[in-house]
Amino acid sequence: QSALTQPAAVSGSPGQSITISCTGSSTDIGAYDHVSWYQQSPGRAPKVIIFGVNHRPSGVSFRFSGSKSGNTAFLTISGLQAEDEAEYFCCSFVGSITWLFGGGTKLTVL
């Protein structure tokens, strides 16, 4: 059970769009449409921002979107704002009541 692979860090300027990738395999991301993304600010518990690959919970900004292609999932944040600066984690159901997280990506808003 190796962690899903995410870039360690990404950055962007206010107003720009960024995309974070999350690469797994045919037995996790490639096998299930149960990919979710979590935003975590320092000292806080994680908060879900995308579930089911591309669904946003109520209250989450439309600027957050998700997608998947093959064994890789993507989180796109459009119209970057300073408040988006946080760490982002992907997660996939991998069958048999088990899940797997990515290593996390630190987003810096320049």
Partner 1 sequence: EVQMVESGGGLVEPGTSLTLSCAASGFRFGDYTMHWVRQVPGKGLEWISAINWNSEDVGYADSVRGRFAVYRDNTRNSLYLRMRSLRSDDTAFYYCVKDIKYFFDSWGHGVLVTVTS
Q: Which residues bind partner 1 (CB under 8 A)?
A: 1, 3, 32, 34, 36, 38, 40, 45-48, 51-52, 57, 89, 91, 93, 96-104
The H or E element containing residue 27 is none
Minimum CB separation from partner 1 for residue 72, in Å?
A: 18
CB atoms within 10 A of CB 69: 10
Terminal alpha carbon distance of the chain = 34
Give CA–CA dist 72/26, Å, rounded: 10
Backbone angles phi, psi at 71, to 5 degrees: -95, 10
Minimum CB separation from partner 1 for residue 31, in Å?
A: 12
Closer residue to partner 1 (CB): 12 or 48: 48
Closer residue to partner 1 (CB): 14 or 33: 33
Closer residue to partner 1 (CB): 100 or 109: 100
